[in-house]
Chain A
């Protein structure tokens, strides 16, 4: 106890250490504040869009009084609200969409419209809390611990300290470690409690941060035991950081992208657009046959008599989806395989692993993107299930029938 008190006092007089701890606290706080702001703004955007969506749908319902036009002109909002913990790791929400306005038209192109390029599998993202604990925290720890013994050696105090007390270095390093842990975790715990993230989440996140720091402590302790000078220690540790936090993640991304080819999101849009455009000039049968193959229930109602009929139009939208199905599945499977491989390889670099853990806790990982896309597909399928009987059975357009049209709902 007296050891702890004495060393706490000693740390409180170490201005350089205090400055680094303060910088760590400020970085973590800023990142948390930034994340909270981003989450709030995403939620506000969703609320605004939902309100606008309701108004617009009512307007369209008055404007277009037939099923075909209603389906054609009405947009439907889908959205994926951020989780309570998303403030800590914005993750894929930066590069993958979390809101789509979709129509009754061919769907796959609409999903990947905002995503003409491949999704970004960078293992480290932008400035958020996960970035601070994964990328910056190791640097803070290195700066706090690299000269623990070396400085004392350089000033001729090492033998005096070592002869006076045993176990001093462990106490000094442990205190700095604990202080850094508090500086980094305090903002997370405060924000997490305020947003109702749940004790289990905070516990897991905190444990992951501490495990990551423990890894770096082991690296620093290894260099400290060499008896090198402070500047040699710092150079070696900075090199280790560069390799593990910067070079390795970039190398892993390159390796994963090279090893697993995936189709371009833009190809899906293009292929689908061509399929839909070509349908205008093709004989009706080349649309209706593949359509009826999938939807035999409508075979008795599928004769097209005039030059334009909505059911033909929606059938070739559906066939457009059927045409890119293989491409879309290849795209999604490739993306999932890249994600799985990245997940395995990220064990090689603790900073990247920590970011992945945070994205998984925050529901901002590739898995969350996949789930959202599938919810959009399911909702679009509901729309088709709603419209097809109206179109193929020529049902009368009534407000009562229209009120049955499904609305996308997703709770936080």
Chain B
């Protein structure tokens, strides 16, 4: 099967510094791939490269078979992107924010569809008509996730989606991501949450100082072994 996302030996520099160094990985369609790494490892940089905001100095990135640099507009239409610490517009309410951003991407959703998405991320119904500046960080994150869901894009790029969410919300989110995979959507999420990554990922790539230093696959049944990943992440042993 052709990979939905592919990074082919990419090297990315920012302000003259090499931030990603010869990174290669693929995400199969309908898979959940978690890119795990510490602060400054290059996780966000990887997503920005898939979105075409940064171009690799060497190597290529592909989305659904298209080279990103050559087909920027098409590629972006196929991606729903959840930015790191997403702040939507604080002076608009959840409905207004979602409608606005959907319309930007030439997508639409009626009130019922938006409510359904907000139900999926379990945002309190009573809060939905309030301005986002009355929300907690986690509630704002939920709205941004709901927006990504409603984009109905085949590919989702999620930058630290669980940051700001409480443990219950994290569990709900993890279940949500699994259901996306069942809908045959491809998810590339970056995170530093070892436990969460192991719970939901079909594959984990370990990123350290801009280099991919390890990969873990989900076994036939069950999930990736947290202990093992944690050990690798903490630098005790690789795999």
Contacts and interface: CB of A to CB of B under 8 A. Distances in A.
Interface of A: 2, 6, 10, 13-15, 155-157, 159-166, 168
Contacts, number: 46
B81 A160 contact: yes
A165 B104 contact: yes
A162 B96 CA distance: 19
A164 B105 contact: yes
B101 A13 contact: no
Interface string B87-109: 11101100010001101111000
A6 B98 CA distance: 12
Given A155-B87, A156-B87, A164 B92 contact: no
Give the top 3 A-B pairs by smallest Cβ distance, nearest first.
A164-B105, A165-B104, A164-B104
B221 to A, nearest CB: 37
B56 interface: no
A160 B101 CA distance: 9
A160 B86 contact: yes
Nearest to B79: A163
Contact of A15 (B84, B88, B91, B101): B91
A166 B74 CA distance: 11
A318 B83 CA distance: 86
Interface of B: 48, 51, 53, 73, 76, 79, 81, 83-89, 91-92, 96, 100-101, 103-106
A309 to B, nearest CB: 87
A150 to B, nearest CB: 15
B105 A165 contact: yes
Contacts of A166: 73
B87 to A, nearest CB: 5
B83 A159 contact: yes
- Name A's interface SS: helix
- Name B's interface SS: loop
15 contacts: A10-B100, A13-B92, A15-B91, A156-B84, A157-B87, A157-B88, A160-B86, A163-B51, A163-B76, A163-B79, A163-B81, A164-B101, A164-B104, A164-B105, A168-B104
Contacts of B83: 156-157, 159-160
A159 B103 contact: no
Contacts of A14: 91
Contacts of A157: 83, 86-89
Nearest to B82: A160
Contacts of A156: 83-87
Contacts of B86: 156-157, 160
A164 B105 CA distance: 5
Contacts of A163: 51, 53, 76, 79, 81
B95 to A, nearest CB: 13
B100 A159 contact: no
A396 B155 CA distance: 108
Contacts of A165: 104-106
Contacts of B53: 159, 162-163
A2 B104 contact: no
Given A159-B81, A159-B83, A163-B51, 4 more contacts: A6-B100, A13-B92, A156-B86, A164-B105
A360 to B, nearest CB: 45
